[in-house]
Structure 1
Amino acid sequence: MKTKSTIIGWVFIGFSVFLIGLFYFYPMAQALLLSFQSGTGTNLQYVGLDNYRRLLGDPTFHASVRNTVIYLLVQVPVMIILALLFSVLLNDKKLKFKGFYRTAIFLPCVTSLVAYSVVFKYLFGSDGLINMMLINLSIISQPIQWITDPFWAKITIIIAITWRWTGYNMIFYLSALQNIDNSIYEAARIDGANAFQQFFKITIPMLKPIILFTSITSTIGTLQLFDEVMNITGGGPGNATLTISQYIYNISFKYTPDFGYAATVSYAIVFMIVFFSIIQFKVAGDKNV
């Protein structure tokens, strides 16, 4: 019976490992091999490191990396801070209608990426609702070109992805906060710690693993940013909002198809994810990295 149970266990594990290898690791290996090839369609030839040399001198790729890193450095910290603040506020036992507020903040996460991107495109149009409100409130005198100005187009993208993903991270923090023993806060209050001291001395250290997790997942998501830029600005004006993922799409389907070079750009994202993840682990003080 023991041998039979062992065999059955290995069958289940082996099947799962086979599927993971088939649908995850095999495509990754094929993409890596593809990055050393060049050509159109199926007419591909091995070119060694030529694609990687081309990558280093590609101004469009440099622009996409610059834009993506700007989104990463601005949007991720803002989103993490907002998610933390919302989670702390919504964890207050005295707050009424907590269920409504939690649902309202989390709701953007379940909306269609394309649908909400199109809505944002119209909201932030030159004659959209946002400009109309700002003009009526006498905050601005002329419509802001949210979509066609390079600076404001980036701001629009940052606002859009922050609006969508803040609630997603808030749920992680809220769950972690509810697992912190209230006696810790009670002891701190007895010792004279105010709300700010409790937040920075208790809440933040206790949430450190969750903050690290959400920071890394948000970094990965931002480096793969595609839908919002594609549907709101199309990467424009010029290449002012172009992301790496959108550049991969353009190389594969919009321009003359070059799947080998597109795979090379894809692996650039992999290297960037590894790089930023290591930095975040080091900043968090993880000695295992």
Structure 2
Amino acid sequence: MTATAPPLALGKDAARTRRNARWRRTALPYVLLAPALITFGVFKAYPIIDSLLLSFTTGSGSATRSAGVANYRRLLDDPLFWTALRNTGEILVVQVPLMLGLALLMAVGINSALVRWRAVWRLGVFMPSVTGLVATGVMFSFLLNTDNGAVNRVLEAVGLSGVDWLGQPFWARMAVVLVLTWHYTGYNAVIYLAGLQSIPKELYEAAMVDGAGPIRRFTAITVPALRPVLLFTVVLSTIGTLQLFDEPYVLTGGGPDNATLTVSMYLYQNGFRYFDFGYASAIAYALTLLVSVLGAVQMRLMGEKDK
């Protein structure tokens, strides 16, 4: 005779199996997500919430006290904040279109079947973007030196007068634009190249059969097909430029006469030079609001239209 388990034991085993299955479906995912959630809470969520609360205070340490919206009212009357915002906006308006335009032309050139050694060209245009930002600033501070910089020596060699790149407000801003363009153009070109390679070649062949020239094919096929990629790079570049810090900090220190002072640099000065963390937090949230509004406007203008 074969021994069989009593019905009660079988019922307990079935109930245990159901409980284990239910636990795996409901609790196990949260257990696996817990390390990431805890890390996000400690290093992201908590600082964000704490800085928001800090923006409504003044003083530091044990002398911290509530200030209401005084820090935000102070922003509206702070001429140095508006100077930093204007500098950032001027660099943004010049640098982002210049950089993305060059990146698109570069990507189209590399993608051409007429170009040989395309892998080498891709590597070459991408290399500047892997250079450290501090190293880039130091390198260009030598290249743009008024007396002994290589750029001025080249200008003088072709009969042009040297430029006081880092000593004149206008040229200092142009120097920052030059550094940003050199550093990030290749990065965006590689993104555009990936988008170009996803466009079906049949579209270009059909357009050529219809008699469309290179410019017509570019405007009618390439640009519309790259619309999502263009939107991505425009928004990303705008956010990055609004948060600009490393390059002007190393290259010019915000000078001359605050001509290259950016919002992020002004935030840093208030927080870590003057230890006015409440006001620095208010600047950070003003910058966050600006980034959010510009990003939303760009997505609205450049996003897909409803059919």
Would you say same fold, with TM above 0.5? yes
Which TM-score tier does this pair reach, normalised by the shorter chain? over 0.9
CA distance in 2, matches of 1:228, 1:192: 47
Whether 2:198 is the aligned partner of 1:179: answer yes
Pairing partner for 1:120 from 137, 140, 143? 140
Counterpart contact for 2:228–2:303, Cα < 8 Å? no
Q: CA deviation at 1:2?
A: 4.6
Q: CA deviation at 1:172?
A: 1.1
Q: TM-score, normalised by structure 2?
A: 0.89
Structure 1 counterpart of 2:281: 263
Structure 2 counterpart of 1:278: 296
Whether 2:151 is the aligned partner of 1:130: answer yes
Pairing partner for 1:43 from 34, 49, 63? 63
CA distance in 2, matches of 1:42, 1:11: 39
Counterpart contact for 1:83–1:166, Cα < 8 Å? yes
Counterpart contact for 2:137–2:250, Cα < 8 Å? yes
Pairing partner for 1:206 from 225, 236, 239? 225
Q: Residues 65-104 of structure 1: CA distance to partner in whole angstroms, max 9, x if unpaired?
A: 0000011111111111111111111111231111121111
Tell me the SS of whatever aligns to 2:59: strand
Instruction: List aligned pairs for 1:216-235, cutoff 5 A.
Output: 216-235=235-254
- Could you tell me which amino acid in structure 2 is paired with residue 241 of structure 1? T
How well do the aligned residues superpose, as a CA RMSD in angstroms? 1.5
CA distance in 2, matches of 1:260, 1:81: 39
CA distance in 2, matches of 1:235, 1:251: 14
Q: CA deviation at 1:22?
A: 2.7
Structure 1 counterpart of 2:187: 168
Whether 2:42 is the aligned partner of 1:22: answer yes
CA distance in 2, matches of 1:268, 1:238: 23
Tell me the SS of whatever aligns to 2:64: strand
Whether 2:246 is the aligned partner of 1:251: answer no
Q: CA deviation at 1:55?
A: 0.5
Counterpart contact for 1:41–1:258, Cα < 8 Å? no
Moved more, 153-162 or 88-97: 88-97
- Could you tell me which amino acid in structure 1 is paired with residue 114 of structure 2? K
Whether 2:148 is the aligned partner of 1:92: answer no
Structure 2 counterpart of 1:54: 74
Q: CA deviation at 1:181?
A: 1.1
Where does structure 2 lack aligned partners over 5 or more consecutive residues? 1-19
Structure 2 counterpart of 1:76: 96
CA distance in 1, matches of 2:157, 2:193: 37
Counterpart contact for 1:41–1:257, Cα < 8 Å? no
Q: CA deviation at 1:182?
A: 0.9
CA distance in 1, matches of 2:200, 2:275: 57
Q: TM-score, normalised by structure 1?
A: 0.94
Counterpart contact for 1:150–1:237, Cα < 8 Å? yes
Q: Rate the CA distance shift 1:202–1:286 in 2: closer, same or farther, 3 A.
A: closer
CA distance in 2, matches of 1:224, 1:21: 23
Structure index of larger Rg = 2
CA distance in 1, matches of 2:146, 2:136: 18
How many residues are matched? Answer: 285
CA distance in 1, matches of 2:86, 2:198: 39
| Percent of residue pairs bearing the same amino acid type | 42
